[in-house]
Amino acid sequence: MVEISTSILTMEKGEETKTIFALEAAKTDYFHIDVMDGKFVEKNTYKKMMENSSYIKRISNLPLDVHLMVEDVKTAVDDFLAVEPNIITFHYEACKDSSEVLDIIKYIKENNCKVGLAIKPNTNLEDIYEFLPYIHMCLVMTVEPGKGGQKLIKATVNKVRDLKKYINDNNIEIDIEVDGGINLVTANIVKEAGANILVSGTAILMAKDYKVIIDELKK
Ligand code: DX5
Ligand code: ZN
């Protein structure tokens, strides 16, 4: 059984309360918070995601799965720790070297928060092997980070398969989360490859009945 983390990036303005309660009733496992700074990626959702996260914390007990697509990771970690997320995931590509990656991993854990490391489609899996023993989740981007509604990049599925094999061969217990272009068709492909947490935004938010699609994605 996989878990579903619904991205609220494309949540309709003014529909927040209705959407959040409906997603909760539909049993999403997490709310996926896409934090973009307008530098690491073109869009800037920083303020909107801070507001949405604080609002969700007030009206729901479901855990927040924060995805930082920012250059200044440390500042964003400090800002989003304030909404007590279940996990904070940052990008390997935002760090200048391995010691910075390790420092941020340590810092997030010292603040009693789980930590994820995200990699873009063109980043090699080998680049992050050294960090896997210290994190809770690896986020394999199945689209270029920056916006919702994109098509899954097929080549990233092999990365999920290779990662699953690597963690099994090395007895590393981490979650594999995939993010971008996940719908009823691509979900089966990435699940078969070894992903156990699926992020989905457009496919869920455009559905008439969130529960039907979330149940299907979980199967
Ligand atoms: C893209 C974000 C994804 C995206 C997922 O940069 O990290 O979480 O919002 O949205 P869909 O499911 O529409 O691809
Ligand atoms: Zn995301």
User: Does residue 149 line the site of ligand 1, with CB under 6 A?
Assistant: yes
Kindly give the distance from the C-alpha atom of residue 28 to the centroid of ligand 2, in angstroms, as a whole number.
15
Neighbour count for residue 82 (Cβ, 10 Å): 11
Shortest-distance ligand to the CA of residue 190: 1
Q: Which amino acid is at 99?
A: S
**Which atom in ligand 1 lies closest to the alpha carbon of residue 143?**
1
**What does each C-alpha distance from 6 to 10, 20, 133 come to in angstroms?**
10, 10, 26
**Is residue 1 scored above 90 in pLDDT?**
no
137, β-bridge pairs = 116, 175
pLDDT number for residue 15 = 94
Instruction: Determine the pLDDT at residue 119.
Output: 98
Task: Identify the CA nearest to 68 among candidates 45, 100, 101.
Answer: 45
Q: Which CATH superfamily is domain 3-218 in?
A: Aldolase class I (3.20.20.70)
Q: What is the position in ligand 1's atom list of the atom closest to the CA of 41?
A: 6
What confidence category does residue 132 fall into, taking pLDDT thresholds of 50, 70 and 90? very high
- Mutation choice for ligand 1 from 33, 184, 190, 199, CB with most ligand atoms inside 8 A: 199
Please name the residue ranges forming H helices in the chain. Answer: 16-25, 46-59, 73-81, 98-110, 155-169, 184-193, 202-205, 210-218
The CB of 175 under 6 Å from ligand 1? The reply is: no
Does the pLDDT at position 166 exceed 90?
Answer: yes
What is the pLDDT averaged over residues 190-214? Answer: 98
Q: What is the pTM of this model?
A: 0.98
- Ligand 1 centroid to Cα of residue 148, in Å, is 4
Q: Is 34 in the pocket of ligand 1 (CB under 6 A)?
A: yes
